[in-house]
């Protein structure tokens, strides 16, 4: 499930209007609609507000995972504890020959 699909589900389940949500996020409603309907990633500058406005329904782990899904040399991991959630990025040792590049 993409972040857009997850956010669309959140808005529907919680009765949140797209116009209100877009204004609180600091974007136009047409841009929000575009993000909800496409595979386009949410720009990182909106991540903090997105996590806050959804009360963690969309979390940093999900945002990072989607953002870096096309980067084969990075792995996103998360660890939850009683103190909170820790998200880390790990650079993988991948041989350059094993990475397929599109021409």
Please report the pLDDT score of residue 103 as a whole number.
40
The CATH class that applies to domain 3-98 reads: mainly alpha
| Cα(49)–Cα(70) distance, integer angstroms | 24
Closest C-alpha to 59, from 39, 79, 31, 73: 79
**Cα–Cα distances in angstroms (integers) from residue 91 to residues 19, 49, 60, 83, 103, in the given order:** 39, 27, 18, 25, 24
Domains of the chain, residue spans: 3-98
Per-residue pLDDT of the chain (103 residues; tens, 9 = 90+): 889 999 999 999 999 999 999 999 999 999 999 999 877 788 889 999 999 999 989 988 888 888 777 776 666 676 766 656 666 667 666 554 444 444 4
**Cα–Cα distances in angstroms (integers) from residue 60 to residues 15, 17, 24, 38, 96, in the given order:** 23, 23, 18, 20, 29
Please report the pLDDT score of residue 96 as a whole number.
44
Please report the pLDDT score of residue 82 as a whole number.
63
């Amino acid at each position: 499930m993409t972040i857009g699909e997850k956010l669309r589900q959140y808005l529907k389940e919680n009765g949140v209007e797209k116009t209100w949500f877009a204004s609180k996020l600091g974007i136009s409603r047409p841009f929000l609609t575009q993000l909800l309907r496409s595979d386009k990633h949410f720009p990182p500058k909106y991540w903090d507000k997105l996590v806050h406005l959804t009360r963690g329904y969309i979390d940093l782990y999900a945002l990072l995972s989607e953002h870096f899904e096309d980067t084969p040399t990075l792995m996103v991991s998360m660890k939850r504890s009683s103190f909170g959630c820790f998200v880390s990025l790990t650079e993988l040792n991948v041989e350059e020959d094993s990475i397929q590049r599109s021409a």
